[in-house]
Amino acid sequence: MEQAKIFKAFCDANRLQILEMLTHGETCACSLLEHLQISQSTLSYHMKILCDSGVVVGRAQGKWTHYSLSPQGCAQARELITLFTHTTAPSSLECSCN
């Protein structure tokens, strides 16, 4: 389910730090590594999850990848959060514990 990939992207402290860093613009993986104090393989793992969610995109340049937020992916994430947090009419689900 594609929706779960978006939520998975937001459920880790390292990935949240990465997302925060990317709000300042495109960032090279080498800069992310310096600021996060994690191994390159750990960064690759987190970036795969972020890219698979569609919220982040990568661009190869030489031996490094430069990452940025995807406007379309961020819009989709906002819509998804709004969908699950917007309240409307009272629930029509009845309690079955009686």
Tens digit of pLDDT for each residue in 33-77? 999 989 999 999 999 999 999 999 999 999 999 999 999 999 999
Which H/E stretch holds residue 98? Answer: none
Which pLDDT belongs to residue 87? 79
Total of domains in the chain: 1
What global pTM score does this model have?
Answer: 0.86
**Residue 35 in domain:** yes
Which pLDDT belongs to residue 1? 77
What residues make up the domain containing 69?
2-85
User: Which domain CATH number covers 29?
Assistant: 1.10.10.10
**Residue 48 in domain:** yes
**Residue 78 in domain:** yes
**Which one has a higher pLDDT value, 1 or 72?**
72
Give the whole-angstrom CA distance, residue 42 versus residue 92.
Answer: 45
**Residue 22 in domain:** yes
Give the whole-angstrom CA distance, residue 54 versus residue 29.
Answer: 17
**Residue 52 in domain:** yes
Which pLDDT belongs to residue 89? 67
| Residues contacting residue 2 through CB under 8 Å, at least 6 positions apart | 54
Give the whole-angstrom CA distance, residue 10 versus residue 62.
Answer: 29
**Residue 32 in domain:** yes
Tell me which amino acid residue 23 is.
T
**Residue 12 in domain:** yes
Arithmetic mean of pLDDT over the chain: 93
